[in-house]
Every structure is written in structure tokens, then in C-alpha cells.
Amino acid sequence: MKARVAILISGRGSNMAALIDAATAADFPAEIATVISNRADAAGLEKAAASGIKTKVIESKPFGKDRAGFEAVLQRALDEEKVELICLGGFMRLFTAEFVQRWYGKMLNIHPSLLPSFPGLDPHGQALRAGVKISGATVHFVIPETDAGPIVMQGAVAVADDDTAETLSQRILDIEHRIYPEALRLLASGRLRLEGDFCRIAGDTERGGTLISPRTI
């Protein structure tokens, strides 16, 4: 049986599209059961519907600061679809600690930096202002703290001297689309285990794969 997944979005849903595409493979261990948005105007809803995925809108604005009230409605929707795992894809709504604990170890998020560096807003600008030579994206389990939680997978790109936030963002987005489906594959196939603040991967013996930037040879 494939794990039933909900993708939560607030905008264009580019990572959502990558996950939906990956899940069409016969050997992918998860199926996208539903896409839920807290905004009716989220462009990703149309993309999901065009892919034959059931969509739902739960507007968060009417709830104001009542996060628990919003989450109660969201949880009912997840229960109705028998959702087992959640992937956040640009979901711009903070969760209560209670909701996060309920889904601990079953909810993934992706952030466009090599966490724990540059959490929060404008990660690309943060990276450029820090003068780093390598940046990237991180898939992690969700905990109450923003852009924190055990790291599942990371992908990196070299940062060029003439990069802008926009050019760096586009290259990192390509990495996001590669690693998010693979992280979901690992979770849905039961290969991940949590040990305190760390995520371990069964059968992972990789020791290679170095990236040096700038190249000197």
C-alpha cells in the first residue's frame, strides 16, 4: 500500500508539481491524495486539479490569530482523505505546537538554504550578504521552531560572484525539485528514523560526493 500524502500550499506550488510528477512512477511508495491551500487564489490549485489531484481550500484569513481553530478544520480534511504524511510546499501559515506534535515524524518541509544557515525570510539574500561560496536547499522534519527540525536531505549549488537573489533562487529551485521527491520516497518507504534531533537513513553508507567552490583546478 502506498502512503497517502497531503501537500499544503499557499502559492504557485512548484515543489508540489515536482512531488506530483514523482508520484506518477509505478515504484514510488507514496500517492498524492490531496492538495490543500489556505488561499483560494493559490496558482498551485489549478496545477494540481489539472493533474487529477483532489484539491481543497481552507481559507486561513477568517481565522485570524486562531491557529488552533484553523488546524481543527484542516485536521478534519486530512482525516477525511486518510492522510498519513504531509509535505509543505510554500505553505505560509504557522502551526501550533500541538498540531506539529501530532504530525511529528510525518510532516516534511523544504527551505531554500543549507540549514541551519539562513532560516526565515530572504535566505538567498542572506547567503549573498554572508559571502558564502555554496548554498542550497534542505528537506527537514517539521518541529514548532521555524525552519528547524531533523534534516532529511540537502542539495547544494555553487554561488557565483555575480549572482543575484533571483539567479541563485532559480538554481536552488532546481535542486529543491530534485531532493524533495527523494526525501518523500525515503520517508514513505520507511527508511527514515528519528534519533533525538537527528534523522538517520537505513542503508546509507555514502562517503563520497564532495563539492568545492570556487574550483581551483
Catalytic machinery residues: 111
Enumerate residues 6+ apart whose C-beta is below 8 A from 119.
111, 113, 146, 147, 148
Locate 196 and state its grid cell: 533525538
Locate 181 and state its grid cell: 521527491
**Cell 515504484 sits on residue:** 27
CA 62/CA 64 separation, integer angstroms: 6
- Tell me how far CA of residue 150 lies from CA of 3, 17, 109, 142, 170, in angstroms: 21, 24, 11, 8, 25
CA 74/CA 36 separation, integer angstroms: 9
3-state secondary structure of 192: strand
**Cell 486562531 sits on residue:** 66
CA 182/CA 153 separation, integer angstroms: 8
CA 5/CA 184 separation, integer angstroms: 9
